[in-house]
């Protein structure tokens, strides 16, 4: 099964061939590297940009205004913070021009911890991004969702931010992408660039098919009755694992993979929380002015009287960075024991 | 009584029909701006900013643009002093009045944005936004699309002198001159010696802004943007180069700022700066292209016409509160 | 009584003379203008910078590292969004160097709506800023608090962000700044720059005195028993007015001026909400991933079982901008009737 | 058997004691970096990035710096290839090993930051941070404080070639050259022709990066940063100018990148690029400054010494989890 990085590559290939993607631009996305996470290897429209994030986002906006379909990459979301004004501009251009112009661009950027990235390769971007109006924002936790969400993003008439959880980029999926060969080694031979000189290498693309995950649709990953866990990205598989572990303690947790952060599937959350009366939101961004706090707010706003316990947030500590040493990273962002414990505590909480 | 001025013999280097047209548009633009200022003063708008003093450059720019939608035509990434260009492209001045009054009919933003924040997709006029210099970061995008598309369409980006201190100006130079990927882009700086209250000479170690292009191998030129004839000829050359060679050109135009920065600084007429229309009219008169009386008539005609439009706008409704929810996203088609 | 703009000027003057402030830098802060809101007129260390926000924040960091005490101004917070990476850097330098370096800088920037600022002179910055660790963040709603908070900021060894509510900058206070002459006209003659040529003008500073508002301390502006309203900036006086109006309806609202957004006075909020059982958070930043949502989260996290109704947030609509036309601005951010209605509804809410 | 090389007669332009010292430090830096790479390979660190290939430039830079704390001394706003400079200032290499291993004893970040992210307030070494080019935006701040303070202290900022595409590089040029407020700052670009996998020639319309200073009236120079003697002499001149004239100088040094970008790209030795130590050793030998045997000894000595330090570091503890809460704020004093 394809890894998430391979799934992204396949999606972009499909989007180049079928959805009119004209440019995959960013630092080191073209030859010879094909992206620091290999996500853009072999793509025919990939080209290396100058080392200038403002230029990358600016150029993508310009391309989009000119009717192209750019997919821009910011190498790590840690380096996107000098472009927030431009992201806001991309998000307000349609509104500011009263609908005259639209900006059909996609930005992809790896986010989060899990690869020992230290202070500047561990940032999360969901809190900052969900505060910027005019964008759609997605964050897959499986290769197939990455594929399906990217295909949706590349067809949207609005700017779409794709947050790619670094920790999951190399993880293989459990579902085949339509058209993907069943054998991983075969897939790798076809689309992974060889070591050494790649300038002559050409990928052999499998005939992948259209498959879209509509933006705004969550996924009920695991049904349950005692509490609702809503997560996305790196912490989603942890939530599933924790739910599995807690089964033996008689705790039945329902787990929702939000997948789209904006717009998001409130319907799915609401139905679940109405059923369980307990909600835990899990993400790894720092916990002050965090998107999970928005979800907590909405939960109390609309479901207060149906709650059996306060909705909880488990998120990253409010620290200036994630330290490199193992004990530091482990203590800074939610790990499996933290998720398990938070779920257990909420399930058992009594007034 | 002043006598008829002696006619200068040597002919002006532009066709007199064109000169008359340029004059007409410059006056139209000036009258429009003065009306906008008046509207502000009378409480028919919250804020004024605009282009009086830049007509001699902006009008030729508009006249020389290839107007239309899409890659075969010119893209304009302008800033908030661009009225001369937009009028020269053929825009009805009523749009600017409507935006000033924030009416629902405002064609550029539906009552959302400040005066002089034009936007017109039909003519490749990218929405003008208030942040200084971001247009220089975006312009390489449309230019890149045009490079790929071929043809003669080019991208034009404009901004002020003080703003070149923002990194986005450098971004534009870098992205426009990548070896083998040079972009068909005319990079314009209108140099009026000021950034709000701050004099250029106190901030700019770079005496000639156009020189910043040289290290990148970009063709450059600094011109007298107060002279519409020089502006026309220089723009023609520069735009011709960009159109044909598909390479960047950096053009610095020295201009005036005739009503100060904006209404925030009073919007009073500044007598110390050269008024391009006064100078141009002297020249037109001296060369017998137009008489004083004819020129007075042009101004009177525009004053009347624009006053009438302003009256029309006065009674137009403001946008409904509920419209805030419109166009957050472009709908699927 | 001094206006908030005058109070800021007096504070900076005091800080130049007594607290070692070395630089008041920013666009148009020096001669001849003294700031677009007149807040820096006549200051001896004020100087005009290039039109480059990244340069302003970068230079201020460098000055602070070199042992100076810079106070940087970003002319409107709408133009700070290309410097978020630098703000993050200022906030993480002490932590990243394990305490070796500190960054004693102050950034001041006008925020919010209320002057018909349209899309780019109406932004709020409290949500974005409270998500950046390592900073202290204050936002006064009266001239005296502006004075006292600025004096604290200029003595702090850490970066401090001062958010100045545009709508209140010209409002006069109800309390004298220590040392301020009682007569407004006298004060104006002394410290307001004259129209016309100012190059020779020198202010005559009143002998203002030390007065600090400790960072982290809220202010109980109005005691009450039925509900707690926590606000800051432009919406604080609206909350007070609404509370006064509701008195006649028999609703007794306690109003807290948070003043410091980070760290903030949780103690004060907690005690109040424990008493009233109802909490309304009011600000004008856009409402998704909003700092008020953090306060809501903390409220349910710690006080859930003492609440009589769900804590509520009244904030700006999640829109790409604030439109210029009157009906648009009015509909986009909380106005007096909105605050009053939100308070009334919360006070009356029954399960 | 290779015979003793013929001695070159004409003397080298630097004192031989200095040459021996420079060689010593260059070897120390190289051995340190090779040890760091080895630690990465053996799992004693998560990530390596560093300066092998830049020793010929970085060592003279460190030797010529005025070391100390405060405005009278030089500030260094470096980047992640600065080990040669830091060692030349007299730093014990064990600090770099500790940072590589993320131990609690890491003197630069307490186990928080990546390798080669030095910080030492005592010597005005501003914390190196990972984002490319932000140091160019901050450096004018320390330089401005020094301009005001007077004396001979200057600010030095360094970064790579690809990074000059960020607007912050332009910001540095703008802020350093304000008329009447010129800053005592040495702006360095180490040009290794690469930004990770991207070749400079594909991105830089600006062939000579130093030329970007010219429009600002900044003195500029492009030098062979692989030659430690040239580097020393050129740095001496440039730093002397900045110290005395209190004006900016932009110096571009062509250097090699001998182990690729970082451990992310394998950290393998690149044979195609010039190795400054090999070249320097040839010269030292040819001029009779050091013999092959002496130089081999230098390397052996450092290899041993640094290996011993690495063994020492191996057993040092990692920071405690609870330390994450330390130093978010500087405590009041
Ligand atoms: C990013 C940003 N910073 C600050 C401002 C506030 N501002 C508006 S116009 C202006 C001066 C612009 O000067 P210049 O670029 O020379 O253009 P001019 O107005 O002189 O035509 C400033 C500082 C802004 N609009 N955008
Ligand atoms: C703002 C930012 N963008 C991207 C990166 C990722 N990155 C790290 S090093 C590098 C290349 C730097 O090239 P150059 O400036 O030439 O320095 P060199 O590594 O060649 O010495 C990139 C893109 C980063 N660290 N910071
Ligand atoms: Mg100007
Ligand atoms: Mg390089």
Same domain, C237 and C153: no
SS3 state at B130: coil
C288–A293 C-beta distance less than 8 A:
no
Task: Calculate how far, in angstroms, residue B192's C-alpha sits from the geometric centre of ligand 3.
Answer: 5
The average pLDDT across A10-28 equals 98
Q: Using the 8-state DSSP alphabet, how is residue D165 labeled?
A: G
Q: How many CB atoms lie within 10 A of CB B41?
A: 12
Of B165, B168, B218, the CB nearest to D174: B165
Where is pLDDT greater, at B4 or A4? Answer: A4
Residue C214 lies in a domain: no
C97 CB neighbours in chain A (<8 A) are none
- Residue B333: what pLDDT? 63
C81-93 pLDDT per residue, tens: 999 999 999 999 9
D138-186 pLDDT per residue, tens: 999 999 999 999 999 999 999 999 999 999 999 999 999 999 999 999 9
Burial class of residue A214, CB neighbours in 10 A (0-12, 13-18, 19+): exposed
Q: Does domain B16-316 fall into CATH 1.20.1250.20?
A: no
The two structure tokens encoding residue C165: 């509510």
Same domain, A238 and A176: no
Mutating which of C277, C320, C333 best tests the A interface, going by the most A Cβ atoms within 10 A?
A: C320
Among chain B residues, the shortest Cα distance to D204 is held by: B178
Residue A329 lies in a domain: yes
D322–A325 C-beta distance less than 8 A:
no
The two structure tokens encoding residue B256: 């005036």
Nearest-10 Cα torsion for A12, A15, A21, A26: -10
The average pLDDT across A85-109 equals 98
Q: Which of C13, C18, C121, C123 is catalytic?
A: C121
The average pLDDT across C304-330 equals 98
Of C52, C61, C102, the CB nearest to D138: C61
**Interface ipTM:** 0.98
Enclosing H/E stretch for C229: strand C227-231
B198-199 and B219-224 beta bridge pairing: unpaired
C102–D141 C-beta distance less than 8 A:
no
- Residue C156: what pLDDT? 98
Distances (CA, A) of C177 to C109, C149, C172, C181: 21, 12, 11, 9
Separation between Cα atoms, residue D59 and residue D62, nearest integer Å: 5
Please identify among residues 125-144 of chain D the ones whose CB lies closer than 8 Å to any CB of chain B. Answer: none
Burial class of residue D6, CB neighbours in 10 A (0-12, 13-18, 19+): exposed
DSSP string, C144-161: HHHHHHHHHHTT-SS-EE
A176-216 pLDDT per residue, tens: 999 999 999 999 999 999 988 888 999 999 999 999 999 99
Instruction: Check pLDDT > 70 for residue C270.
Output: yes
SS3 state at C137: strand
C16-34 pLDDT per residue, tens: 999 999 999 999 999 999 9
Decide: C228 and C280 in contact? Cβ < 8 Å: yes
Nearest partner of C348 among C270, C280, C269, judged by Cα: C280
Task: Calculate how far, in angstroms, residue B195's C-alpha sits from the geometric centre of ligand 1.
Answer: 6
Same domain, A126 and A260: no
Same domain, A182 and A261: no
Same domain, C58 and C106: yes
- Residue A199: what pLDDT? 85
Separation between Cα atoms, residue C125 and residue C280, nearest integer Å: 20
Average confidence score pLDDT of chain C: 98
Among chain A residues, the shortest Cα distance to B154 is held by: A66
Instruction: Check pLDDT > 90 for residue D110.
Output: yes
Same domain, A257 and A117: no
Decide: D94 and D309 in contact? Cβ < 8 Å: yes
Instruction: Check pLDDT > 60 for residue D23.
Output: yes
D1: pLDDT confidence band, cut at 50, 70 and 90? very low
D5: pLDDT confidence band, cut at 50, 70 and 90? low
- Residue A105: what pLDDT? 98
Of A22, A94, A96, the CB nearest to B330: A94
Provide, rounded to the nearest whole percent, the portion of chain C with pLDDT above 70.
100
- Residue B259: what pLDDT? 97
Same domain, A175 and A224: no
Tally of domains in chain A: 2
Separation between Cα atoms, residue C57 and residue C60, nearest integer Å: 5
D215 CB neighbours in chain B (<8 A) are 206, 208-209, 211-212, 214-215
The two structure tokens encoding residue A64: 């989009």
Same domain, A82 and A161: yes
Closest atom of ligand 2 to CA, residue D81: 21
Task: Calculate how far, in angstroms, residue B162's C-alpha sits from the geometric centre of ligand 3.
Answer: 5
Pocket test for ligand 1, best of C25, C51, C80, C117 (most atoms within 8 A of CB): C51
DSSP string, A116-156: --GGGS----HHHHHTSTT-EEE--SSHHHHHHHHHHHTT-
Separation between Cα atoms, residue B20 and residue B12, nearest integer Å: 12
Enclosing H/E stretch for A90: helix A84-96
Task: Calculate how far, in angstroms, residue D163's C-alpha sits from the geometric centre of ligand 2.
Answer: 6
- Ligand nearest the Cα atom of residue B80: 1
Residue A119 lies in a domain: yes
Residue A205 lies in a domain: no
Sign of CA dihedral D195, D198, D199, D203: negative
Residue A318 lies in a domain: yes
Same domain, A337 and A243: yes
Same domain, A186 and A223: no
The average pLDDT across A304-327 equals 98
Separation between Cα atoms, residue A76 and residue A181, nearest integer Å: 30
Q: What's the order of all strands across the beta sheet hosting D185-191?
A: D75-77, D155-160, D185-191, D249-254, D219-224
Burial class of residue A197, CB neighbours in 10 A (0-12, 13-18, 19+): exposed
The average pLDDT across D71-92 equals 98
Give the CATH number, domain containing residue A79.
Answer: 3.40.50.970
Same domain, A52 and A154: yes
Provide, rounded to the nearest whole percent, the portion of chain D with pLDDT above 90.
95
pLDDT tens digits in sequence order for chain B, 333 residues long: 455 567 787 899 999 999 999 999 999 999 999 999 999 999 999 999 999 999 999 999 999 999 999 999 999 999 999 999 999 999 999 999 999 999 999 999 999 999 999 999 999 999 999 999 999 999 999 999 999 999 999 999 999 999 999 999 999 999 999 999 999 999 999 999 999 999 999 999 999 999 999 999 999 999 999 999 999 999 999 999 999 999 999 999 999 999 999 999 999 999 999 999 999 999 999 999 999 999 999 999 999 999 999 999 999 999 999 999 999 999 876
Domain limits at C340?
219-348
Cβ(B189) to ligand 1 under 6 A? no
B102–C324 C-beta distance less than 8 A:
yes
Residue C207 lies in a domain: no
Of C67, C86, C97, the CB nearest to D137: C86
Residue C198 lies in a domain: no
SS3 state at C174: coil
Same domain, C131 and C175: yes
Separation between Cα atoms, residue D111 and residue D219, nearest integer Å: 40
For chain D, the chains sharing at least 3 beta-carbon pairs closer than 8 angstroms are A, B, C
- Which residue has tokens 């220590």? C178
Provide, rounded to the nearest whole percent, the portion of chain C with pLDDT above 90.
98
Task: Calculate how far, in angstroms, residue B82's C-alpha sits from the geometric centre of ligand 4.
Answer: 40
A44-76 pLDDT per residue, tens: 999 999 999 999 999 999 999 999 999 999 999
Angle at B326 (CA atoms; ends B321, B331), nearest 5 degrees: 170
- Which residue has tokens 């610095």? B252
Decide: C239 and C229 in contact? Cβ < 8 Å: yes
Active site residue A121: yes
D4: pLDDT confidence band, cut at 50, 70 and 90? low
Angle at D219 (CA atoms; ends D214, D223), nearest 5 degrees: 100
A101 has a chain C CB within 8 A of its CB: no
- Which residue has tokens 């040029």? D173
Residue C28 lies in a domain: yes
φ, ψ at A113 (rounded to 5°): -95, -170
- Ligand nearest the Cα atom of residue D81: 2
Give the CATH number, domain containing residue A329.
Answer: 3.40.50.920
């Amino acid at each position: 099964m394809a890894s998430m990085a391979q799934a992204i590559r396949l999606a972009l290939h499909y989007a180049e061939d079928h959805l009119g993607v004209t440019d995959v631009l960013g630092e080191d996305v073209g030859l010879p590297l094909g992206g620091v996470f290999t996500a853009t290897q072999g793509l025919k429209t990939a080209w290396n940009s100058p080392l200038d994030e403002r230029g990358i986002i600016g150029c993508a906006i310009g391309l989009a205004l000119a009717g192209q379909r750019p997919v821009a990459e910011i190498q790590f979301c840690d380096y996107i913070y000098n472009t927030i004004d431009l992201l806001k501009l991309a998000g307000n251009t349609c509104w500011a021009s009263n609908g005259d112009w639209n900006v059909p661009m996609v930005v992809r950027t790896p986010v989060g911890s899990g690869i020992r990235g230290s202070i500047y390769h561990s940032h999360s971007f969901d809190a900052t991004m969900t505060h910027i109006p005019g964008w759609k924002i997605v964050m897959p936790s499986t290769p197939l969702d990455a594929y399906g969400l990217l295909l949706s993003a590349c067809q949207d008439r609005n700017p779409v931010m794709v947050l790619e959880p670094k920790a999951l980029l190399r993880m293989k999926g459990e579902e085949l992408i339509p058209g993907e060969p069943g054998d991983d080694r075969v897939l790798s031979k076809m689309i992974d660039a060889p070591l050494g000189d790649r300038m002559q290498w050409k990928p052999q693309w499998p005939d992948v098919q259209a498959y879209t995950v509509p933006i705004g649709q969550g996924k009920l990953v695991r049904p349950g009755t005692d509490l609702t866990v809503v997560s996305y990205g790196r912490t989603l598989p942890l939530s599933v694992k924790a739910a599995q572990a807690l089964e033996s303690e008689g705790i039945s947790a329902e787990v929702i993979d939000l997948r789209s952060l904006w717009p998001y599937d409130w319907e799915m959350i609401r139905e679940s929380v109405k059923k369980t009366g307990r909600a835990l939101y899990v993400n790894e961004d720092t916990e002050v002015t965090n998107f999970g706090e928005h979800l907590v707010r909405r939960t109390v706003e609309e479901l207060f009287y149906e709650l059996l316990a306060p909705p909880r947030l488990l998120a990253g500590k409010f620290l200036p960075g994630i330290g490199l040493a193992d004990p530091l990273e482990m203590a800074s962002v939610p790990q499996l024991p933290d998720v398990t414990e938070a779920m257990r505590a909420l399930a058992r909480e009594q007034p | 009584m002043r006598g008829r001025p002696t006619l200068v013999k040597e002919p002006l280097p532009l066709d007199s029909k064109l000169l008359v047209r340029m004059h007409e548009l410059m006056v139209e633009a000036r009258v429009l701006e003065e009306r906008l200022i008046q509207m502000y003063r009378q409480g028919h708008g919250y804020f004024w900013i605009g282009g009086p003093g830049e007509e001699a450059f902006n009008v030729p720019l508009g006249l020389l643009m290839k107007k239309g939608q899409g890659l075969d035509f010119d893209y304009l990434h302008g800033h908030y002093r661009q009225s001369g260009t937009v009028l020269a492209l053929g825009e009805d001045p009523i749009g600017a009045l409507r935006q000033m009054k924030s009416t629902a009919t405002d064609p550029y933003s539906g009552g959302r944005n400040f005066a002089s924040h034009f936007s017109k997709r039909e003519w490749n006029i990218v929405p003008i936004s208030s942040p200084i210099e971001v247009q220089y970061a975006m312009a390489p995008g449309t230019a890149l699309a045009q490079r790929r598309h071929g043809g003669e369409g080019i991208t034009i980006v404009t901004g002020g002198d003080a703003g070149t201190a923002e990194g986005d100006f450098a971004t534009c130079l870098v992205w426009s001159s990548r070896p083998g990927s040079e972009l068909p882009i005319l990079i314009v700086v209108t140099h009026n010696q000021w950034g709000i209250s701050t004099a250029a000479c106190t901030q700019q170690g770079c005496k000639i802004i156009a020189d910043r292009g040289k290290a990148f191998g970009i063709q450059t030129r600094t011109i007298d943007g107060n002279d519409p004839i020089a502006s026309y000829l220089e723009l023609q050359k520069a735009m011709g180069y960009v159109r044909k060679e598909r390479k960047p050109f950096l053009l610095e135009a020295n201009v005036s700022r005739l009503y100060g920065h904006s209404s925030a600084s009073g919007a009073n007429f500044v007598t110390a700066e050269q008024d391009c229309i006064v100078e141009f009219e002297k020249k037109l008169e001296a060369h017998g292209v137009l008489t004083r009386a004819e020129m007075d008539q042009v101004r009177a005609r525009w004053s009347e016409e624009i006053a009438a439009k302003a009256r029309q706008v006065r009674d137009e409704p403001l946008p409904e509160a509920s419209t805030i929810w419109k166009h957050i996203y472009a709908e699927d088609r």
